Structure 1
């Protein structure tokens, strides 16, 4: 007798949603989260229309939207001092016709609360995994850092882009390469009636300002590996360059007082060439790390969770051997991942590269055309908000 049918490693969006869906189907599920809570700064918090629609299918959207969040109806960029609208989500089918900017800890606490109502669900916090249990060439569960073990019919790696479980399981990783890193920081702001999330390109700099009500969550994009060079120019220079690129931050930038207030995100863009082996399946960032471009990481991870539950929950509930089915999750999700990563690579090459080199001094003609056409603005919104081959709850 195993401790669980499924042991999910990692309490991020992929792990928590997968845990909820499998337990909802009646599959005995344990989710292991190595931290004591979900409260960590600068984690992705863009809940896209595809995810809102999934929670609507579950009958949970109204309760989800009771959590603190900001509504984003349009996205845009400021290039050379002029604002352009890139995408308008209002034309998408309701209810998911906007982006909800929701701190990830609120999202995860909500999912944990709903999952906790299910008899088949267990969440263990402060449960750090140190290795895998191998039984006759297949994974039979995990070893814990405290010396304990958890056995399971299926182990799901949802422990992020630096996945220990993926590495211990020997799943092969293909690095696509990425030319950027990101400095994250917060700048206070007054409340405004509309959400003013934007990206700014000017003076060889790119700064994204995510409007979180009383502060901007800011991302200064830099060339990969240049963090030490930026720091060497001094903190005052850092603030001056940010404020020059994004004038909306000038009044509040003084609140960012030292490098302690700035966190470096080392950006990755990669994917596994094999997502599974007997007894083990990887989903979310553990299977494919995404660039921050478009803020799609959470939503692709959740799509993976839905696909895994759709394909595996019923066979597991019937007591079937699911090892022969694990490859179907990769087959279902890989096309979408490849397309989005290809778009991100084009954005790196054609937008971020020229911006950081100081060559993006004016908007390209296609952006000007989209800005003038509300109809055209729906195409980027649909691609960004709904993705490719999106999943639905079975």
Structure 2
């Protein structure tokens, strides 16, 4: 028996690679025809770089066009506030690598394709489960040729925050809410622009500014459900804060011709109480949708995939099935870092983002640069860089 994974995002692609590397027959279903969907999470943190290093892909990854960020800061109306300096992390990678997610996914799936037990089906949308005797035995999916069934010893839902298979399994997430949504768009770089990525904070406004070498990727944070109101005000309601918050972009904001140039991310923060059923588990956003706070969504998803591979590869190779007790162990292992990370995200949402968007955030106090104080920098550096429980690849490659 084999494993079938629905969803070719970071969680599904990494799990497929690790299982194929271990000699498990695995099929990865991706509903789109390619990975080229802009403005997806693309911060590759040291924890994920460690995983790539452990399976021999780090050098190949670092040959992709990328930008390294060693320090994180908030830029306020009165100046910058350093948040964390990643230099000195106890690992080989002390930076965040910004890489378009489609490049990351192409790298991972191309590596998986080197193993004969891997199969990738694009334009294949999983829409239901095969259930027999109370146990999930595979998926139903559709492609251009019609409807199909694919049987497997383990079915994994990695199909994102609106997971179809999670719903088919009767699993309902607990919602925690978020005070914001995010508008993603891009503007070109120009000679003389600064070389940095930062969060711009002002009364009533938040914007993430990401250096992409040839362009700026911008994330303008708006109140939850506020997109339609912004559209009614016209494109000037977006252009004006761009030029004011990021003065070096003044003049370029007119290149945003309309809201057709903007992608809207509806922010969701939730997690399942139970991730599994007999023969079935959810991982990544399907198990826990993360806020964009700290930019750790990809990395939590990859950590889920590593933990899952470590636990399920052996049973799948041995008799083609995974006991539900093993899936329960997976949830127990990954629930703690999920809870802690989401709790930290909720604190930032409640104390910083919500008040800032309501124009109720006071001027930040003048304080020393804590990134220069090793003891005070250690906690945020490790939390952002490695996470609460970094996972390591334990399942060996098949001979």
Normalising by the smaller structure, the TM-score range is over 0.9
Preserved CA contact (<8 Å) 1:277 1:323: no
1:173 is aligned to 173
Matched, 1:113 2:116: no
Distance of 1:98 and 1:140 partners within structure 2:
42
Preserved CA contact (<8 Å) 1:189 1:252: no
Matched, 1:357 2:358: yes
Matched, 1:346 2:352: no
What aligned pairs does 1:308-327 form with structure 2 within 5 A after superposition?
Answer: 308-319=308-319, 321-324=321-324, 325-327=326-328
Distance of 1:255 and 1:173 partners within structure 2:
40
What aligned pairs does 1:1-394 form with structure 2 within 5 A after superposition?
Answer: 2=1, 5-145=2-142, 146-190=146-190, 195-319=195-319, 321-324=321-324, 325-364=326-365, 368-370=368-370, 373=373, 376-394=376-394
Preserved CA contact (<8 Å) 1:190 1:213: no
Distance of 1:283 and 1:106 partners within structure 2:
21
Distance of 1:83 and 1:177 partners within structure 2:
29
Distance of 1:62 and 1:193 partners within structure 2:
29
Distance of 1:203 and 1:338 partners within structure 2:
30
Change beyond 3 A, Cα 1:203–1:377: same
Runs of 4 or more above 4 Å deviation: 191-194
Preserved CA contact (<8 Å) 1:272 1:288: yes
Preserved CA contact (<8 Å) 2:154 2:321: no
**Equivalences, count:** 390
Distance of 1:91 and 1:362 partners within structure 2:
31
- Aligned residue for 1:91, secondary structure, equals coil
RMSD: 1.6
**1:237-262 superposed Cα distances (whole Å, 9 cap, x missing partner):** 22102221232332422221111111
Distance of 1:134 and 1:191 partners within structure 2:
59
Give the TM-score taking structure 2 as reference length: 0.94
Alpha-carbon shift at residue 369 of structure 1 (Å): 4.7
More displaced 10-residue stretch of structure 1: 247-256 or 333-342:
247-256
Alpha-carbon shift at residue 361 of structure 1 (Å): 4.4
Preserved CA contact (<8 Å) 1:203 1:245: no
Give the TM-score taking structure 1 as reference length: 0.95
- Aligned residue for 1:300, secondary structure, equals helix
Gaps of 5+ in 2: 395-399
**1:343-371 superposed Cα distances (whole Å, 9 cap, x missing partner):** 00000011101211223342246x64525
More displaced 10-residue stretch of structure 1: 336-345 or 307-316:
307-316
More displaced 10-residue stretch of structure 1: 91-100 or 24-33:
91-100
Gaps of 5+ in 1: none
Distance of 1:132 and 1:331 partners within structure 2:
24
Distance of 1:371 and 1:243 partners within structure 2:
29
Alpha-carbon shift at residue 234 of structure 1 (Å): 1.6
Preserved CA contact (<8 Å) 1:87 1:380: yes
Preserved CA contact (<8 Å) 1:84 1:371: no
Alpha-carbon shift at residue 193 of structure 1 (Å): 9.4
